[in-house]
Structures are given as C-alpha cells and as structure tokens.
Amino acid sequence: MNHHADQFRIKVAESGDIPTILAFIHKLAEYERLSDQVKITENQLFETLFGPRPFAEVILAFEAGACVGFACFFHNYSTFKGRPGLYLEDIFVDPEHRGKGYGKQMLRYLANLAVERNCARMEWAVLNWNQPAIDVYRAIGAKPMDEWTVFRLQGDKLLDLAGK
C-alpha cells in the first residue's frame, strides 16, 4: 500500500464507459505494436459487451476520479476440471500511472471474482518480449504453459474450412 491507495478504486464498466474502453483498447494496441489489428467500433463494443448476449466483461481502474487502467475478461472452461476459468483478454495501466501497483490491484480484484464464481483458474496470454509483465506474472505465482501452442484460424482460411 502507498499514499495513492485511498484514491484508488475499481468499478465494473457500464455502457456509458464505452468511449473510455475504446480509448484504452487503442492505447493497449499501441503498446503491443498491434495498432493495425484494431478494427473495433463503439457500436460493436456496445453489442458485444452490453447486448443481449455479452461475450466479455470490463473493469475500470480510477485514481482520484481519473480512469487509469482497464481489464477485459470472459469465462473459459476446463473439461478436466469441470469448472469455468477466468480468462483475462486484456489488462492495461496508463504508462504514467505505472509502478503504483494498480495492475496488481486489478489482478487481485479479478482473482477474487474468479474464486467467488468457482473458477478453477485464471489464464492470460503475454507477448514473449513483454518482460516487465512476465516478471509481475511470475511474482504472483502464475506459470507459463510452455508445452502448449495456440493455433489461430481466421479470414479466408476460416471461410475455406467452413466451405463458404
């Protein structure tokens, strides 16, 4: 804990937060050097996060009323455990607000939610060059799933397989 702690809070995002969420998605993509991949619009965010069939949930972190970070997550599933998991799709703290433990506070919030919802585990993917993040993840006891590789099928190849 530090002197910022009493100014810090986390809240569940609502539809009014869509512009804030979109801004953080763009900031994260810039940090990950993947800006060319960002295709999302405010309408899509509304439909996929707050529509009749939400696919993910978002939390926002505030310091003294200003939004300084966000995280987006959904539930995955383990057949071996017979239980859901909490999959963290994105977590991002504004660079000028790093080093205050806010990322860890968001992770702690999500770990609590995972336990409350009977999740067997939390998982997330990290870019292999992102050593500062990897250091944090190892420090909290997360283990790299080095023996697995994720495959992705998209675009024309997905349509080809579907026979479209």
Q: How far is CA 41 from CA 18, 44, 49, 54, 144, in A?
A: 10, 5, 12, 16, 32
Residue 128 beta carbon to a copy of itself: minimum distance, rounded to whole angstroms: 6
Annotated catalytic residue within 31, 77, 87, 137: 137
Nearer to a copy of itself, 5 or 64 (CB): 5
Side by side, the strands of the sheet bearing 57-63 are 8-12, 57-63, 66-78, 83-93
Our CB check for a copy of itself shows the closer of 2 and 79 to be 79
Q: How far is the CB of 33 from a copy of itself (least distance, A)?
A: 10
Nearer to a copy of itself by Cβ, of 82 and 95: the residue is 82
Token pair in block for residue 137: 């993840």
In the annotation, is 137 catalytic? Answer: yes
Compute the least distance from the CB of residue 132 to a copy of itself, in Å: 14
What is d(CA 79, CA 155) in angstroms, rounded to the nearest whole number?
28
Residues recognised as catalytic? 137
